Amino acid sequence: MFWFHVTVLIAAGISERMLTPHNFVNSYERVSLDGQFNWILSEESSGVSVAASVPGCMYSALLRKKLIQDPLYRDNDVHYVWMGNADWTYSRNFTVSKAVAGSSKVLLVCEGLDTVTSVVVNGKSVGSADNMFVRYTYDVTGIVTEGENRIVVGFHSAVREAATRAQRSSYVIPPNCPPQVQNGQCHVNQMRKEQCSFSWDWGPSFPTQGIWKPIYLDAFSTAIIRQVSAIPKKVSGQWQVDVDVICDVSGGTTVKGQVRVELPGLNLTLTQQVTVSAAQSRVKVVLKVPLVGDPHARDVLLWWPNGYGHQNLYLTNVTFTSGSDVSSREVKVGFRTVELIQDPVSSDTSKGLSFYFRINGLPVFLKGSNWIPADSFQDRITRDKLSFLLRSTAAVGINSMRVWGGGVYESEDFYELCDELGIMVWQDLMFSVALYPTYDAFLKSVATEIRQQIQRLKHHPSIILWAGNNENEKGLRQNWFKTQENYTLYYNDYVKLYVTTIKPIVNGEDDSREYAVSSPSNGKESEKEGYVAKDPGSELYGDIHYYDYAADQWDPTVFRIPRMASEYGIQAWCNNESLSGVFAPGDFAMDAPMVSHRQHHGHGNIEMAAEVGMHMDMSSSKDPAVKFADFTYLTQINQAMSMRTQTEHYRRFQSRLLYDGRGLTMGALYWQLNDIWQAPTWASIDYEGRWKMLHYYARHFFQPTLVSPYLRTTASLDVYMVVDQIPTVERRDENKGELRFEPMTDVEDLRRSSIPPQDVASTQAAVDRATTGRLTLTMYTYASFSPLKSWTVDYSMNTTAESVYTASVSQLLSEANCMSRENCFLHFSTTDKSNAVTSTSWLFLSYPKDAHLAPAHIKVSAVRTISPRVFEVDFSSDAVALFVWLSVGDIPGWFSDNGFLLHTPTTTVQFYADTDVTAAKLQATLRVKSLSDI
């Protein structure tokens, strides 16, 4: 990744500095009202009055002043319910200069108010707010005076407001309340607020109030830039950059000015005279990128997803000058094309439509996860925290992330990091698992929200799709909300919100990406059926969400075969160490009240115990704390193995179409990546940043070259090779017209693709290496490190995923002289033509509870410093060990492998620390366990 640098007048995005040229009077000036402890937060009934920071919320402010405990400690989410029911007020004094006070226009800009708010400046009401996701701008010209001023931002309880709105509604808009196990609040769907702040099945209820984004004054004479976006597009074979400039304009007259757009990385500059007014405040400018051969042309370097190439980014600087006002914004853009392909998969149209993304002309399998808010309190989410989570994401081969519709539209930091790391974003709009009001004021607020958010985010190359909601089409059709008797009423509301109101706004603001009305959905088929399909979970269209906690999820035959799996998952407890700050010593027990309190998914702990019991023996320890620690470990094994089994199942089906039309699965996004508190959830990284076993397994099941063995039946072994991180081309069978995905080996295909001409030969060689090789499978007994027998087979692939070896399990056992499948397991490895190992895997022939395991004693032999923050750790074992788990206490970082099968007497792994640490401290902290320790 690289980017081009340019010196700017005012910094881009959310952060800005003011430009006040000395030769102008009353030039544009910004006065920030943010700051640490320069606001007073008060609540009348409790008598609380404390210095507070902005951005912030009332929980964070009281915690900093030690007036409350950590809200995440034990059951404080219940003890602090009173805070969400109260009304909180932020107030402060601020000083402005004579120049600011005397400007022709002074605007108070509130980037984010959470949520129901009245704003008073110098005793005068200047406006109100009721949408957390809207930027509010209030005209305070003539209200702000030279010298000291006062602002009061009064918040009304969103919990009480939601209840009031529900009572006022002429009909019930379900769901009314979350399940009791969540200890949540009711009617969140009445509010344009972070939906999970009233609780969810993986998080607590903390209905925040506060100024959660920057707040400032903008003073100017004529007009200034409020928002800039720039989207590279390819039109008739030529790249262009569509620049969209939205201004705030003083007064009712027109303003003449000059827009200057600079894209220094491509040596492009355009200056254009424009006229803006309050009614026509938008300017659109197009920069044409010279074609190859033009003496001024520079090569356009494309932006690629993680694993497919570099994430090349270009700075684009936009300056608007009118009179004495000079304002500027800067954004980074990436040149890439994105297409959502929904075409017939066969000449037999009853077999449905494809559903996959084409990036820069190449089909890309989405290897991904789902993102929820990283904290209940947005002001605690730092760029460093986001960076750790997203670097952890890219490190395991993830190339895509679905930003789930029950949280927030994420920060600029989040999307910038996704741009830099090549993580494609499937962006839900913030509606989730509910029906919503459609009265005029609500729809007007939603329209403003959607318009502003698309304008803010659309320049990010990482975003590949807008989706209107999470699970609302499916919920409506499948009667989740008990609305069948009044189906037409709620159906009309659904269409009015997502189709009549939102769809035209999204399409009008951004014609470079698709808008999917819901997720999951049947895509074009849902549209054809009136936007609510008869079966929104069809495997022949669109995407699906899959959960079945009663199924044996180590058995691949239980899973569906969709076009794309955009949600699927299973719970596990967070790492035991991550509970140390929020549990009391007595809480570490299976029957402790806090263990039950922390579980927000109904019967979740019972389900996890049943899932573990299918495959492993439960802990027999008499010590309650040890037994609980063992249980957290076992649930993580179960989660990791379940997600491995399901994800590899989806990857194996990407180039295979069954007789009934199922198959061509082109995406697997497991639920979920991150946590919002320390609890049992579906996450692969817990709230404290510790990787769970699942995240380590993701590094394997998302590896570029995947050997994927599975038991097609209990008697039959099938080994697939998957190579989907290479240039791929769509082909159709000549007889049936059936679609498949083939490695791009033909030189003419490579030349026609978006691969640079100078890289064609090396790319062809890389594709050849990935698609040909040698598979070795080796049978071991659990009683010995010595292999019983090995088999080898050469393979050459014609599609991106295909079977390269099948065998009878009984025949393999017989040839290896293995007594029974309970005594043995298989190890797999693949090598390329140079004999370099390209992938490894393993397969149990029976579940661990039935396997004949010997006790394994694992020791740390040595810890060596390789480079700053990178260490090698040597281990030795006296027996084969399953699910070897390494932990390092409070040292942030991750291992190169964890939760692994140790089938050799010694092994070495790397540890990548995210902070400075010595080898001695690492060795002293390091702990090792395996399944035989339970």
Q: What is the set of active-site residues? A: 471, 567
> In whole angstroms, what is the distance from residue 659 CA to residue 674 CA?
38
Distance of CA 661 to the CA centre of its chain: 30
Stated length of the chain: 934
> In whole angstroms, what is the distance from residue 33 CA to residue 11 CA?
18
The DSSP symbol for 334 reads -
Strands (E), 667-770: 667-670, 705-713, 716-723, 728-732, 739-743
> In whole angstroms, what is the distance from residue 677 CA to residue 689 CA?
11
Neighbour-count burial for 835-864, b at 16+ CB within 10 Å, e otherwise: eeebbebbbbbbebeebebeebebeeeebe
Decide if 771 contacts 758 (C-beta within 8 A).
no
Element at 456 (helix H, strand E) = helix 440-457
If we measure between CA atoms, which residue out of 683, 680, 687 comes closest to residue 590?
Answer: 680
Question: Under the phi-then-psi rule, with left for phi > 0, alpha for psi from -120 to 50, and beta for the rest, what region is 661?
Answer: left
Tokens 């040839």 belong to which residue?
815
Decide if 283 contacts 274 (C-beta within 8 A).
yes
Strand order from edge to edge, sheet including 927-929: 900-902, 881-887, 927-929
Q: If DSSP states are collapsed to H, E and C, what string results for 210-272?
A: EECCCEEEEEECCEEEEEEEEEEEEECCEEEEEEEEEEEECCCCCEEEEEEEEEHHHCEEEEE
If we measure between CA atoms, which residue out of 157, 89, 155, 93 comes closest to residue 121?
Answer: 93
Tokens 């000015």 belong to which residue?
257
The three-state secondary structure class of 575 is coil
Prior bond of 520 cis (ω within 30°): yes
- Residue 480, φ and ψ in degrees, nearest 5: -60, -30
> In whole angstroms, what is the distance from residue 931 CA to residue 825 CA?
15
How far apart, in Å, are the Cα atoms of 84 and each of 76, 78, 156?
13, 11, 9
The three-state secondary structure class of 17 is coil
The DSSP symbol for 409 reads P
DSSP string for residues in 749-815: HHHHSSS-GGGHHHHHHHHHHHHEEEEEEEEEETT-SSEEEEEEEEEE-SSSEEEEEEEEHHHHHHH
Count H helices and E strands in the chain, helices first.
20, 48
Residue 690's Cβ-side half-sphere holds a number of Cα atoms within 13 Å equal to 23
The three-state secondary structure class of 291 is coil
Angle between helices 624-652 and 693-701 (to 10 degrees): 20
Element at 425 (helix H, strand E) = strand 424-428
How far apart, in Å, are the Cα atoms of 571 and each of 549, 551, 671, 686, 698?
9, 13, 9, 12, 15
> In whole angstroms, what is the distance from residue 6 CA to residue 723 CA?
39
Decide if 203 contacts 678 (C-beta within 8 A).
no
> In whole angstroms, what is the distance from residue 90 CA to residue 42 CA?
7
DSSP string for residues in 127-161: EEE-BTT--EEEE-TTTS-SEEEEEEEEEE-HHHH
- Residue 97, φ and ψ in degrees, nearest 5: -80, 170
